[in-house]
């Protein structure tokens, strides 16, 4: 499982011209579920991300989490995060999870984030989406943990 996390001033996602999610200051999270991922990876990231200290304190040092700042989360499923580009020029998507399993894990991830009290807006799983954001910093992180790849985080 891989997540790209951006600290944003605001973000929104639309599907077929209809807005499905919008946030003010907070985190835009792109979520990719891979073959071999399990509830353990979902639970790990859902617990880790709200506690990441990626917001500045009064001295300008990154020392506050989204739980400290009262920010919001926009969670967007993005299967392309499971791609590999090792040879050639075309991405290989064979590492992406089966869509049925991936959707269940994505829903679980969002429910767990929301259970912390953070407002969570979402895109639409499996849809072609347009995402607009104003990155704050810019500040962007990649967090991953996978039972099936060599990129595991302990």
**CATH number for 100:** 3.50.80.10
Active site residue 80: yes
State pLDDT tens for residues 81-118: 988 888 889 998 989 999 999 999 999 999 999 999 99
Q: Look at residue 30 in the predicted model and tell me its pLDDT.
A: 98
Q: How buried is residue 100: exposed, middle or buried, by Cβ count under 10 Å (0-12/13-18/19+)?
A: exposed
From the list 6, 55, 78, 112, the catalytic residue is 78
In this prediction, residues 61-71 reach a mean pLDDT of: 97
For residue 149, tell me if it sits in a domain.
no
State how far the Cα of 102 lies from the Cα of 12, in Å rounded to an integer: 22
Active site residue 140: no
From the list 6, 14, 18, 79, the catalytic residue is 79
The number of folded domains in the chain is 1
Active site residue 151: no
For residue 150, tell me if it sits in a domain.
no
For residue 38, tell me if it sits in a domain.
yes
State pLDDT tens for residues 22-52: 999 999 999 999 999 999 999 999 999 999 9
């Amino acid at each position: 499982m891989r997540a790209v996390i951006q600290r944003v001033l605001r973000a929104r996602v639309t599907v077929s011209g209809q807005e499905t999610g919008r946030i003010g200051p907070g985190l835009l999270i792109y979520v990719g579920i891979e073959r071999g991922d399990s509830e353990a990876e979902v639970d790990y990231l859902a617990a880790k991300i709200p506690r990441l200290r990626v917001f500045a304190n009064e001295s300008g040092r990154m020392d506050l989490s989204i739980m400290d700042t009262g920010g919001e989360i926009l969670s967007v499923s993005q299967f392309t995060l499971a791609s590999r580009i090792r040879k050639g020029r075309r991405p290989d998507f064979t590492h992406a999870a089966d869509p049925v399993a991936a959707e269940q894990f994505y829903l679980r991830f969002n429910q767990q984030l929301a259970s912390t009290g953070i407002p969570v807006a979402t895109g639409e799983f499996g849809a072609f989406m347009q995402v607009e954001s104003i990155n704050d910093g810019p500040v962007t992180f990649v967090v991953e943990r996978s039972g099936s790849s060599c990129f595991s985080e302990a």
